[in-house]
Amino acid sequence: MNVLLTHGYFIAEDKKEQQIMRPYPPLGLLYISAFLNQQNMSNKVFDSTFSDKAQLFAQLEAEQPEVLAIYANLMTKLNVLEIAKTCKKISPKTAVIMGGPDVTYNTENYLKNGADYLVIGEGENTMMELVQHLENHPEKEPSDISGLAYLDTAGKVVQTAARTKVRDINELPIPNRDAIPIHKYLDAWKEHHGQNALSVSTQRGCPYTCKWCSTAVYGQSYRRRAPEKVVAELKELREKYNPDTIWFVDDVFTVSHKWLRQFCEELEKQEVRIPFECISRADRMNEEVIALLKKAGCFRVWIGAESGSQKIIDAMDRRVSVDQVRNMIIATRKQGIEAGTFIMLGYPGETEEDVEETINHLKISNPDHFTITVAYPIKGTSLYDEIEAKKTTEPEWHLSTDRDIDFERTYSRKYYDYAVRKVISEVNYHKSRLNGGLTLSGLKLKGKSLAAGLAMKLIKTYG
Asked which of 352, 370, 388 is the last residue of a domain, the reply is 370
In a domain, 402, yes or no: no
Report phi then psi at 70, rounded to 5.
Answer: -125, 130
The 10s digit of each residue's pLDDT in 333-391 is: 999 999 999 999 999 999 999 999 999 999 999 999 999 999 999 999 999 999 999 99
CATH of the domain at 336: 3.20.20.70
CATH of the domain at 91: 3.40.50.280
276-280 and 298-303 strand pairing: parallel
Q: Has residue 183 got a pLDDT over 90?
A: yes
Distances in Å between the Cα of 435 and the Cα atoms of 126, 342, 358, 368, 427 are 54, 22, 21, 12, 12
DSSP 59-73: HHHHH--SEEEEE--
The 10s digit of each residue's pLDDT in 70-100 is: 999 999 999 999 999 999 999 999 999 999 9
Asked which of 370, 402, 424 is the last residue of a domain, the reply is 370
Residue 284: pLDDT band with limits 50, 70, 90: very high
Looking at the chain, the whole-number percentage of residues with pLDDT higher than 90 is: 95
Q: Has residue 409 got a pLDDT over 90?
A: yes
**Domains of the chain: total:** 2
> Do residues 106 and 30 share a domain?
yes
> Do residues 209 and 354 share a domain?
yes
Contact present, 185 and 192 (Cβ < 8 Å): no
> Do residues 252 and 341 share a domain?
yes
Q: Has residue 407 got a pLDDT over 90?
A: yes
In a domain, 329, yes or no: yes
Q: Which DSSP letter does residue 306 get?
A: B
> Do residues 121 and 214 share a domain?
no
In a domain, 440, yes or no: no
Helix or strand run (H / E) with residue 343: strand 338-345
Residue 305: pLDDT band with limits 50, 70, 90: confident
Range of the domain at 307: 195-370
> Do residues 203 and 332 share a domain?
yes
> Do residues 218 and 296 share a domain?
yes
The 10s digit of each residue's pLDDT in 219-263 is: 888 999 999 999 999 999 999 999 999 999 999 999 999 999 999
> Do residues 17 and 145 share a domain?
yes
> Do residues 289 and 148 share a domain?
no
> Do residues 154 and 212 share a domain?
no
Q: Has residue 435 got a pLDDT over 90?
A: no
In a domain, 445, yes or no: no
Handedness of CA 291, 295, 300, 304 (dihedral sign): negative
| Global pTM value | 0.95
∠ Cα 202 204 209 (to 5°): 125
> Do residues 236 and 330 share a domain?
yes
Q: What is the mean pLDDT of residues 204-227?
A: 92
Q: What is the mean pLDDT of residues 436-458?
A: 93
Distances in Å between the Cα of 140 and the Cα atoms of 95, 130, 137, 145, 349 are 14, 11, 6, 12, 51
In a domain, 66, yes or no: yes
> Do residues 209 and 310 share a domain?
yes
Q: Has residue 457 got a pLDDT over 90?
A: yes
Residue 151: pLDDT band with limits 50, 70, 90: very high
> Do residues 127 and 74 share a domain?
yes
Contact present, 403 and 376 (Cβ < 8 Å): yes
Q: What was the pLDDT predicted at 436?
A: 81
